[in-house]
Amino acid sequence: MGEQDYVFEGVERVDAVLHQERWRLAYLVVYDRTERQRDVRVARLTPGVWDTDAMIAAWVRTVAEAHTGSRPWRRFRVRLYGARGKTTVGNAAFVCARRPPRPVTMRELGEAYARWGRLFLGSLQVQEALYAEVEQRMRREVEAARAEVVWLAGLLAEAGAAACNEGWRVARSEQVDPVRWTGMQPRPSATRRRGTGPGRPAPESRACCSRRLL
């Protein structure tokens, strides 16, 4: 709230009394005198050496505005006291009232809507820019992750190929059956499974044994 929200009537009398009696002023008191014959003390000020008349008058107006608040109007009286407060060197009364609200014109309403529309469109543009930036950043991260996966797969393939080549090279240098070296044993043939193993003699040896017995 500022002075533009209130109007003062008769406050120039306070300025005149302050200018005239400033040299005798020790302190001043602001009273609320809205109800006649009844002064309610509102605030007190003891001016400093460097306080000017304009500063004191501005303080009086600020006190009146704060005390009026949301009420339509209040009447105030300012009393100036001399040394030790024994004498009143001056007083003045004024009225502080709230300024009535000014009706809004159609032009002002249209300008307000236009400002709101510009703010709304500006916020949408900012959101779109943010979404586009986030999408581009996520796309770059996905591409980087995909390239890293491809690189790791290439390393694994190269490592497997190198291991196979090393195995075949060792097998050829040591004249080892590559199948046995790699741990892959061939399945026994049907003839071997039918009884040509080391525990049983071959059919020819059995025939020779029978002839000897005869």
Mean pLDDT per block of 10 residues along the chain (214 residues) reads 73 92 91 88 91 91 91 93 87 90 81 87 86 90 90 87 80 61 52 51 50 47
pLDDT digit string, tens, across residues 49-79:
888 889 999 999 999 999 998 888 999 999 9
Three-state SS at 8: strand
Cut 0.75: pTM above it: no
Are 57 and 18 in contact, with CB atoms under 8 Å apart?
A: yes
Q: What is the DSSP letter of 2?
A: -
**Which residues have CB under 8 Å from 21's CB, separation 6+?**
80, 89, 90
